[in-house]
């Protein structure tokens, strides 16, 4: 929460939170009509029963709702899964990543606790904004209970590349949890790209630019670099310089004394939480390398290093603390003179006024994280430079580096580069310092934390409007009842049913998508209904389709309309087509099969299909575009066309499609109920060609000519079962 509740002598004390997110969003929370749901900071065991209501009351006064967590939950959820699994993995420290099933179970249960608390306060029309890696499962937990809710999720740490993320045992569940949101935000485009790649490769959802197509909705993913409360830091710096000698802090007096004694010496500032991702040990070694190779700067620079304690009960952090203590001690012992110590080291939290002392007094900020979601310290340092002097040296691995190009950007693992950059910073003329900082300050002031929050909420609101942009309406229970009523009252009915992706789910190999007994019984029952014609209209070859439905005298149309099998009849060609072109086209497709692992050719009587469902999603799409262009050029003037289906390219006669085939069935018939359902672009011909009063249905939420859509094959069967029961 944006406040910390502490227990002192059986009294509750409330202080503001110091975390980056809590600080950043505090002003946005105060200005808006919002409820902030978060942990109180005290475990259930720490709160006496008689003070439980007081804790809730203290939170309520700040428009907050306290989630109570036990010691076991904090241990498993926060110190366990969040900080021993997700945190190291997402920062590329795979050697520190633990995969503890008990921690995972607690993480799930705490996420559920948060989701339930949200649902208690949720009202229709509310927008829900879930934050950070501790609550990755919450969006979908809310979505399951409130399908129409508008949910945003923001990840404040890096999102790793697919190759790293895939090592997480619970990768599917984590991705599905986040995909409960309508809008997913990251600090940089790199993290956004990594997330989209993982969704595409692991869950196999269709990704187009920054949109993920789920069966029931579209999820948008975007980057929103987080800013700071710029005015707060600028005003604090202005007030700082107005302080009299008596009003100055003890720290500021020490800094002033140093400046007065050695006016030519430069103070280099380093501020971080004590975390292995921040590259603190490397920074100290780089500083040692600098002094070793440039002894002329001895007594002319000092590294002022503040390390804020963090997660001190996690073993890696304890080891890091020991390593840094030893490094500082060794380097100070190695280089110190009677009047000079190279590193001033503070291991503590500092009040805000002391941070301002450091920001305003130091000449250079040296921030070298090995991996960092954003790094707001870099922005805070620049905001406090009232006279626009000062130099920021920033790791390219920090999210902030993407928008702070005027800083001196370094590779945190390159000691030589850091050393040379320190010299550049020390010797940089004031005019150049001001020129760089002027641009940085203008940008940071414009893109403050409030603008970041408002931009995200605006984008989230737009996702709710985008839901209405789809022409097709979802078949809700009310719409389903309306269609069923028309079906029951009709005198003559015809049902056009696509097969793959509609009646059955897709499989890696087409031959495995055989109809199950439930589907066979359902189609048989519909086919026997009075005044009802059932037509299975598919891109499948006639031999496979015929073999699967040989026991049921249902009408079949195969290869998008090339072949037709009427009830109790043999197959017959419905179009005058030839296949003499296939020998020229096949070798071209075979080269793409060879170059694209996981793809294969399906032979049909009068068409060839290249399947790429099992290929790497990104490579598959690239190759599909390539092949489509090559084929279109090859088959021009041959009366052929390239049909782009669901992870399949099909080359067939231009005059054959499902629209033409379905319309043929209507000639001379007086149907007063026409129903057509399908899942991909091959079915669009059917939706477009059928009469306007037809009930056309798309499977999956995609842009379509159909009037309605359903989420998946289960919903398709639900509709058909109702038809069968009421025929």
CA end-to-end span of the chain: 57
Confidence (pLDDT) at 459: 94
Confidence (pLDDT) at 209: 83
Cα torsion angle, 697, 698, 703, 705, sign: negative
Confidence (pLDDT) at 20: 59
Q: Which of 8-12, 162-166, 406-410, 663-667 has the lowest mean pLDDT?
A: 8-12
In degrees and rounded to multiples of 5, residue 94 shows phi and psi of -65, -30
Confidence (pLDDT) at 6: 77
**The overall pTM is greater than 0.85:** no
Helices (H), 96-166: 101-121, 138-145, 162-165
Confidence (pLDDT) at 618: 86
Under the banding of pLDDT at 50, 70 and 90, the label for residue 466 is: confident
**Helix (H, G, I), strand (E, B), or coil: what is residue 472?**
coil
pLDDT higher than threshold 90 for residue 662: yes
Whole-number Å distance between alpha carbons of 546 and 567: 12
Structure tokens, 571? 């197959």
Whole-number Å distance between alpha carbons of 445 and 382: 10
DSSP conformation letters of 632-694: HHHTTTTTEEEEEETTEEEEEETT--HHHHHHHHHTT---SEEEEEESSGGGHHHHHHS-TTS
Confidence (pLDDT) at 12: 78
Whole-number Å distance between alpha carbons of 516 and 513: 9
Structure tokens, 138? 């919450």
The pLDDT of 242-263, averaged and rounded, is 87
The pLDDT of 708-716, averaged and rounded, is 92
Confidence (pLDDT) at 136: 98
CB count, 10 Å around CB of 435?
A: 12
The conformation of residue 81, written as its DSSP 8-state character, comes to I
Structure tokens, 399? 């999210």
Confidence (pLDDT) at 586: 92
Helices (H), 534-657: 542-548, 582-595, 617-634
Structure tokens, 20? 């980056």
Mind telling me the catalytic residues? 498
Under the banding of pLDDT at 50, 70 and 90, the label for residue 92 is: very high
Taken in order of first residue, the domains within the chain and their CATH numbers are 1-69 (no CATH), 80-227+450-469 (3.40.50.2000), 230-446 (3.40.50.2000), 473-575+656-725 (3.40.50.1000), 580-653 (3.90.1070.10)
Under the banding of pLDDT at 50, 70 and 90, the label for residue 653 is: confident
Confidence (pLDDT) at 246: 86
Confidence (pLDDT) at 18: 61
627: closest CA among 605, 646, 643, 603?
A: 643
* Beta-strand relationship, 36-43 and 532-537: unpaired
User: How high does pLDDT run on average in the chain?
Assistant: 91
Whole-number Å distance between alpha carbons of 260 and 265: 10
Whole-number Å distance between alpha carbons of 393 and 127: 39
Confidence (pLDDT) at 19: 57
Confidence (pLDDT) at 654: 85
Under the banding of pLDDT at 50, 70 and 90, the label for residue 5 is: confident
Q: Tens digits of per-residue pLDDT, 597-611?
A: 999 999 988 899 999
User: CA distances (Å), 79 to each of 94, 107, 459, 512, 650, in order?
Assistant: 17, 10, 33, 45, 52
Under the banding of pLDDT at 50, 70 and 90, the label for residue 470 is: low
């Amino acid at each position: 929460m944006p406040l910390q509740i502490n227990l002192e002598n059986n009294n509750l004390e409330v202080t503001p939170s110091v975390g980056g997110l809590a600080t950043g969003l505090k002003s946005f929370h105060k200005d808006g009509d919002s409820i902030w749901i978060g942990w109180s900071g005290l475990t259930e065991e720490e709160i006496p029963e008689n003070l439980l209501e007081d804790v809730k009351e203290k939170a309520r006064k700040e428009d907050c709702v306290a989630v109570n967590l036990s010691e076991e939950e904090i241990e498993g959820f926060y110190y366990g899964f969040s900080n021993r699994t997700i945190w190291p993995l997402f920062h590329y420290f795979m050697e520190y990543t633990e995969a503890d099933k008990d921690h995972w179970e607690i993480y799930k249960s705490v996420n559920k606790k948060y989701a339930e608390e949200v649902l208690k306060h949720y009202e229709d029309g509310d927008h829900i904004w879930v934050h950070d890696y501790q609550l990755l499962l919450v969006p979908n937990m809310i979505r399951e209970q409130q399908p129409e809710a508008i949910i945003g999720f923001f990840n404040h740490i890096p999102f790793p590349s697919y190759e790293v993320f895939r090592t997480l045992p619970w990768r599917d569940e984590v991705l599905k949890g986040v995909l409960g949101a309508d809008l997913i935000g990251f600090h940089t485009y790199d993290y956004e790209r990594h997330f989209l790649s993982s969704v595409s490769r692991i869950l196999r959802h269709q990704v187009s630019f920054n949109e993920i197509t789920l069966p029931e909705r579209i999820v948008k993913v975007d980057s929103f670099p987080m800013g700071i409360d710029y005015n707060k830091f600028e005003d604090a710096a202005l007030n700082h310089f107005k302080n009299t000698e008596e009003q100055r802090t003890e720290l500021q007096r020490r800094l002033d004394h140093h400046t007065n004694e050695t006016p030519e010496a430069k103070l280099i500032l380093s501020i971080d939480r004590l975390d292995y991702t921040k590259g603190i040990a490397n920074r100290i070694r780089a500083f040692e390398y600098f002094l070793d190779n440039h002894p002329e700067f001895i007594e002319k620079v000092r590294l002022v290093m503040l390390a804020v304690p963090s997660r001190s009960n996690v073993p890696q952090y304890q080891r890091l603390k020991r390593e840094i203590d030893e490094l500082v001690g060794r380097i100070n012992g190695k280089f110190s003179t009677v009047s000079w110590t190279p590193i001033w080291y503070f291991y503590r939290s500092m009040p805000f006024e002391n941070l301002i002392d450091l920001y305003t007094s130091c000449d250079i900020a040296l921030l070298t994280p090995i991996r960092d979601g954003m790094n707001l310290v870099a922005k805070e340092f620049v905001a406090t430079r009232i006279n626009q002097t000062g130099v920021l040296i920033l790791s390219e691995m920090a999210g902030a580096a993407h928008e702070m190009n005027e800083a001196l950007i370094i590779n945190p693992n390159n000691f030589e580069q850091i050393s040379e950059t320190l010299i550049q910073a020390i010797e940089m003329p004031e005019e150049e310092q001001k020129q760089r900082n002027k641009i940085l300050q203008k940008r940071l002031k414009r893109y403050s934390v409030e603008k970041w929050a408002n931009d995200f909420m605006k984008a989230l609101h737009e996702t709710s409007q985008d839901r209405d942009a789809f022409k097709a309406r979802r078949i809700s229970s009310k719409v389903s009842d309306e269609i069923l009523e028309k079906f029951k009252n009709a005198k003559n009915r015809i049902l056009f049913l696509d097969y793959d992706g509609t009646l059955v789910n897709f499989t890696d190999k087409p031959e495995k998508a055989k109809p199950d007994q439930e589907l066979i019984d359902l189609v048989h029952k519909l086919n026997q209904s009075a005044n009802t014609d059932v037509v299975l209209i598919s891109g499948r070859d006639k031999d496979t389709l015929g073999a699967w439905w040989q026991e049921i005298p249902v009408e079949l149309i195969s290869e998008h309309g090339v072949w037709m099998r009427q009830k109790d009849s043999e197959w017959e060609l419905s179009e005058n087509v030839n296949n003499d072109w296939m020998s020229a086209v096949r070798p071209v497709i075979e080269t793409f099969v060879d170059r694209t692992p996981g793809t294969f050719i399906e032979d049909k009587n009068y068409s060839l299909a290249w399947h790429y469902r099992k290929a790497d999603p990104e490579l598959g799409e690239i190759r599909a575009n390539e092949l489509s262009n090559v084929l279109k050029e090859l088959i021009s003037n041959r009366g052929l066309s390239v049909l782009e289906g669901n992870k399949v390219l099909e080359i067939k006669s231009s005059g054959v499609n499902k629209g033409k085939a379905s319309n043929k069935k209507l000639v001379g018939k007086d149907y007063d109920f026409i129903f057509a359902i399908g899942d991909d672009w091959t079915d669009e011909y059917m939706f477009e060609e059928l009469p306007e009063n037809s009930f056309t249905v798309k499977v999956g939420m995609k842009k379509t000519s159909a009037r309605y859509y359903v989420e998946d094959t289960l919903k398709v069967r639900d509709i058909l079962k109702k038809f069968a029961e009421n025929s």
